[in-house]
Amino acid sequence: MSITLAELGETKLLERLARFAPPGQFSDDTALLTHDSRALLVNTDVMVEGVHFSDATTAPADVGWRAVVANLSDLAASGSVQVEGITVGLVAPGTTPWWWVEELYQGISEALERFGGTLLGGDCSTGNQRLLSISAFGRLGPLRLHRALARPGDLLMSSGPHGLSRLGLAILQDTPRPSPLSLPPALKEQAIRCHQRPWPRFDALQTLLACKPEQLPWRAGGTDSSDGLLAAVESLCRSSGCGAVLHRDALPRADAWPYEEAWDRWCLNGGEDFELVLSLPPEWAESWTLHQPESRCFGTITTDKGRIIWNDDGALLQPSGFSHYS
Amino acid sequence: MSITLAELGETKLLERLARFAPPGQFSDDTALLTHDSRALLVNTDVMVEGVHFSDATTAPADVGWRAVVANLSDLAASGSVQVEGITVGLVAPGTTPWWWVEELYQGISEALERFGGTLLGGDCSTGNQRLLSISAFGRLGPLRLHRALARPGDLLMSSGPHGLSRLGLAILQDTPRPSPLSLPPALKEQAIRCHQRPWPRFDALQTLLACKPEQLPWRAGGTDSSDGLLAAVESLCRSSGCGAVLHRDALPRADAWPYEEAWDRWCLNGGEDFELVLSLPPEWAESWTLHQPESRCFGTITTDKGRIIWNDDGALLQPSGFSHYS
Output b/e per residue, A179-218; b: 16+ Cβ within 10 A. Answer: eeeeeeeebbebbbebbbbbbbbbebbebbeeebeeeeee
- The fold for domain B7-140 equals 60s Ribosomal Protein L30; Chain: A; (3.30.1330)
Could B51 and A127 be called an inter-chain contact, meaning their C-beta atoms sit closer than 8 Å? yes
pLDDT digits (tens, 9 = 90+) for A48-66: 999 888 887 789 999 999 9
Question: Do A5-140 and A147-310 show the same overall fold?
Answer: no
pLDDT tops 80 at residue B110 = yes
Whether the predicted pLDDT of B161 surpasses 70: yes
ipTM of the complex as predicted: 0.86
Mean pLDDT of A16-27: 66
Closest Cβ–Cβ partner in B35, B120, B239 for A39: B35
| pLDDT above 90 as % of chain B | 68
Q: Look at residue A108 and give its three-state secondary structure.
A: helix
Main-chain dihedrals φ then ψ at residue B151, nearest 5 degrees? -135, 140
pLDDT tens per residue across span A299-320: 999 999 999 999 999 999 987 7
Cα–Cα distance for residue pair B6/A319, rounded to 1 Å: 17
pLDDT of residue A228: 94
**Mean pLDDT of chain A, nearest integer:** 89
Contact yes or no for A208/A80 (Cβ under 8 A) = no
* Type of residue numbered B151: R
Residue A184 CA to residue A111 CA, distance in Å, equals 29
What's the pLDDT at A21? 66
Nearest to B43 among A30, A35, A80 (CB): A30
Are B131 and A35 inside 8 Å of each other by CB?
no
Residue in B10, B37, B77 nearest the CB of A37? B37
Residue B278, pLDDT > 70, answer yes
Instruction: Find the CB nearest A29 among B30, B91, B147.
Output: B147
pLDDT at residue B134 in the model: 95
Nearest to B160 by CA among B296, B8, B314, B21: B296
pLDDT at B295: 96
pLDDT over 80 at A10, yes or no:
no
DSSP helix/strand/coil, A307: coil
Contact: A125, B48; criterion CB under 8 Å? yes
Contact criterion met (CB < 8 Å) for B13 and A91 = no
Instruction: With CB atoms and an 8 Å threshold, state whether B135 touches A87.
Output: yes
Per CB-CB distance under 8 Å, the chain B contacts of A202 are none
**Distance from the B257 Cα atom to the nearest Cα atom in chain A, whole angstroms:** 29
Are A84 and A138 in contact by the 8 Å Cβ rule? The answer is yes
Q: How does residue B34 score in pLDDT terms, banded at 50, 70 and 90?
A: low
**Interface with A, mutate which of B135, B139, B230 (most A CBs under 10 A):** B135
Multiple choice CATH, B147-310, 3.20.20.70, 3.40.640.10, 3.20.20.60, 3.90.650.10: 3.90.650.10
Query: Does residue B73 register a pLDDT over 90?
Result: yes
Residue A26 reports pLDDT greater than 70: no
Q: Which of 3.30.1330.10, 3.40.190.10, 3.40.50.2000, 3.40.50.970 is the CATH number of A5-140? A: 3.30.1330.10
pLDDT higher than 70, residue B28 = no
Q: CB B241: neighbour CB atoms within 10 A?
A: 13
Closest CB from B32, B127, B137 relative to A39: B32
What number is the average pLDDT over the span A181-203?
A: 95
Specify the DSSP element, H or E, that contains B86.
strand B80-91
Q: Looking at chain B, which residue has its C-alpha nearest residue A32?
A: B41
**B-chain residues within 8 Å CB-CB of A47?**
125
- A6, pLDDT greater than 90: no
Report which of residues A7 and A193 the model is more confident about.
A193
Residue pLDDT, tens place only, B35-64: 455 788 888 899 999 988 888 778 999 999
Test mutation, B74, B133, B226, chain A, max A CBs within 10 A: B133
Nearest to A239 among B5, B28, B131 (CB): B28
Q: With bands split at pLDDT 50, 70 and 90, how would you rate the model's confidence at B29? A: low
Q: What is the pLDDT of residues B209-227, one digit of tens each?
A: 999 999 999 999 999 999 8
Write down the pLDDT at residue A39. 81
Mean pLDDT over residues A128-146, rounded? Answer: 92
| Residue A301 Cα distances to A240, A264, A305, angstroms | 10, 20, 10
Contact B46 A133 (CB under 8 A): yes
Per DSSP, what are the bridge partners of residue A221? Answer: A146, A279
User: B189 pLDDT exceeds 90?
Assistant: yes
pLDDT tier for residue A181 given thresholds of 50, 70 and 90: confident
B121–A88 C-beta distance less than 8 A: no
Least Cα separation, residue A128 to chain B (angstroms): 7
Delimit the domains of chain B by residue range: 7-140, 147-310
Write down the pLDDT at residue B6.
75
CB-CB neighbors (< 8 A) of B131 in chain A? 91, 125, 127, 131
